[in-house]
Structure 1
């Protein structure tokens, strides 16, 4: 992409101050106002030029160029050179030739060959040699120029003058010679001759740097299809100006920085078979989000895997279970803002939520009579509070009492189904909320709930979290919501629809939802989940089974070539779709770091680490 003035100066500064790139502090607009010159801010103190190399204060450099091109060249050639672990500048100078001039040049060349053939035949005829054909060299040259002319006419090929200049840098003369030998070897392997700009080192450097000059004449003509193989842009990059770290690009080896807030829809999914690194990936993102701003993070954790990271960052851990002291009231609402006409729609939203909650408690789909009774009771409960002088936040027992007052038998049946969760042994939601929701990092652990409480708890958590997202949105803060074992919520029609509405609503309040699950096939069996996935701009694919990866290709448009990055791959590696960019990433870090030990969820590695610490302490 084009560089502006400041970006060009940054490239120059990076070259002249190798190893100190981060100290660049120059604004061309400010300098122009005060009449300052950029030369003293950018250049180093000394540059020495020699016939075959040049030196400055900190490095040895050599300018090379492609002298001879083969008849065919791999499109990986330039990428192979630029991917070497050395500091280098590769400049591809292209000058297009007008189409009419291209035709004239080719015709002139063709006529020249025809003239040479006629002269050759005349000489042979003069020597009474009437049977010998023209020479092999001229026959080949004629076929080549005819093929090029056909290509230009039929395939709309264009002619270009092309020159490739390569600047290699090293810390010593010996290292520089080794690097140059490596590059020349790559050229020979591709039948390409790479030579040194002898006595032209200064001019070659000026040509390679982005200052808009060409001081060396090493150009030759290439057609469009031949020029295409010299383009190094065979890889997409994820390089937003601000955002989160998402590992290393497997192809270009550059750092991936993505900003989900800039996407049309920042919601996303993380897929991967067990052990592929889903939790590790999400913890890395959580850490980046937490440390880079004031956004809030909320995690629904069915396996209690995120307690350690919450405690490390000073967050709140809410371990929901039948013996918990942490309570969340599903009926909590800003009752002081209620009015009898429900002008803000708060009661309607709460009524829809209670339909899902009651369905989970009953264990079967609600019929129309049951839905009407539940909606009536919810409206009566909150409207009575809105009309009353003293406001109070209701709990489940208040809703239970109103159900028992209704004349219909269905109301008694609904109340009986709720009794276990209101007055019975699973009454953890019949209390006022006592959770510290003001913390920036909150984890809801629901591993110990059991099969009866788990679906209900998920709904209650989502309702409480949605209220928190709305509250944060009013304050101008973003909320990152992570839902592990996402497929659990899809077992119920109401919970799936509730999630779908949440996926649509929270975007307007600055919420970013992330679903974490294993098998893509299971998710795609649910139509609601399929639409949620299709509308998610961010998807991380870690190791996938073959059936899952093929299904994923249909949904998000991953090509067959890209599928190899999620099939039989190592843990922590895969594909990221961020908007229109799809890139292979490597999110692995050293196992000897504290960060790895914090984010790791491998129980066997944790046990081995614990034994290692105990043995070290015993010594």
Structure 2
């Protein structure tokens, strides 16, 4: 199956708007950026599409002086167009200040771009963004492309099909560093950086690491040995039915299979007894009617690292009896009785 996917029997490019790779259907589209400003949420929304989607970025840097000269030439062309519009206005007898809105918009954007390149340490890049979708069914392929177009439209962009260029688009998708699509969009450093999702923090610890899910941004797995972190404590939060108990049971199972840690579960609801039995663990039931008991007088001489374990147990017994007595505090005589029971 893997071999057929990597090296299918055939490629068919006899349709203008899609191709076939083996028995699967594929389609290559390019992103037409219309918005003057791009949100960094757009790429994350594209990546959330749970289909066989490949996104390619072909980014080519332009030498700074060449970029500035190119924009100045564009401004000169726009000025010529404004002069022509003024001449038309004089001949037609209407106000010369009335200009086509597109001409004014392009002029302002070009001036802003020139200012960013000259004074804001920005650079110019030519970028081509390709979206390749592959699916077993043509109908599913069309639905995925429609979903991608909807995301692009929300961000004032447009996803266009590469009509009669599907083969060139597929070649540009492959990791060959070769772009055969001559559709480029000029962007500054800040605008280009929106499409570089390398600012996420990854958490992958080698050794006896346990699986804790996927990174919400990069979708890489999270593998952690909590004992190696500054704070090894953990807390599982979530809405009812979101899988908190399942996550806890998964971590218990992983810790049992991978590590040599002691696993102790305080389970007031009796929810984890079955998994403990499956892992050949011991279930200790504590209740007024159970056969298991906790002896508060029991003591382990290795309990304390440096302190005297007998003194610690004495303090515990005093606290226990004060809880039993309640509001009536222990008298000095009663405290001395407990104290005399300890060896000096």
TM-score (structure 2 length as normaliser): 0.74
Partner of 1:359: 315
C-alpha root-mean-square deviation of aligned residues, in Å?
A: 4.2
1:47 to 11, 20, 39: 11
Give deviations 1:225-248, integer Å, cap 9, x for gaps. 433444456866656678433346
Asked whether the 8 Å contact 1:361–1:418 carries over to 2, the reply is no
Paired with 2:60 and 2:80, the residues of 1 have a C-alpha distance of 29
Partner of 1:314: 280
In structure 2, the CA distance between the partners of 1:200 and 1:66, relative to structure 1 (3 Å rule), is same
Partner of 2:77: 112
1:269 to 218, 231, 234: 234
Paired with 1:274 and 1:254, the residues of 2 have a C-alpha distance of 22
Gaps of 5+ in 2: 321-332
Please state whether the residue corresponding to 2:163 is helix, strand or coil: coil
What is the correspondence of 1:232-381 to structure 2 with a 5 Å cutoff?
A: 243-247=209-213, 251=216, 254=219, 256-260=221-225, 263-265=228-230, 267-270=232-235, 280-291=246-257, 293-299=258-264, 301=266, 303=268, 305=270, 306-319=272-285, 324=292, 330-332=299-301, 349=305, 351-363=307-319
Question: Are 2:130 and 1:165 equivalent residues in the alignment?
Answer: yes
What is the correspondence of 1:522-561 to structure 2 with a 5 Å cutoff?
A: none
Give deviations 1:568-600, integer Å, cap 9, x for gaps. xxxxxxxxxxxxxxxxxxxxxxxxxxxxxxxxx
Asked whether the 8 Å contact 1:239–1:258 carries over to 2, the reply is yes
Partner of 1:221: 186
Cα offset, 1:353, TM superposition: 4.0
Partner of 2:28: 63
Paired with 2:239 and 2:106, the residues of 1 have a C-alpha distance of 61
In structure 2, the CA distance between the partners of 1:17 and 1:283, relative to structure 1 (3 Å rule), is same
Cα offset, 1:284, TM superposition: 2.4
Please state whether the residue corresponding to 1:160 is helix, strand or coil: strand
Asked whether the 8 Å contact 1:318–1:326 carries over to 2, the reply is no
In structure 2, the CA distance between the partners of 1:197 and 1:361, relative to structure 1 (3 Å rule), is same
Cα offset, 1:120, TM superposition: 4.9
Paired with 2:184 and 2:39, the residues of 1 have a C-alpha distance of 20
* More displaced 10-residue stretch of structure 1: 165-174 or 146-155: 146-155
* More displaced 10-residue stretch of structure 1: 317-326 or 170-179: 317-326
Gaps of 5+ in 1: 1-12, 19-41, 334-345, 365-408, 420-619
- How many residues end up aligned between the 2 structures? 323
Give deviations 1:450-497, integer Å, cap 9, x for gaps. xxxxxxxxxxxxxxxxxxxxxxxxxxxxxxxxxxxxxxxxxxxxxxxx
Give deviations 1:304-351, integer Å, cap 9, x for gaps. 744332212101334578964788963355xxxxxxxxxxxx9x8253
Cα offset, 1:92, TM superposition: 1.8
Higher relative helix content: 1
In structure 2, the CA distance between the partners of 1:300 and 1:139, relative to structure 1 (3 Å rule), is closer
TM-score (structure 1 length as normaliser): 0.44
1:142 to 104, 107, 112: 107
Paired with 1:204 and 1:83, the residues of 2 have a C-alpha distance of 22
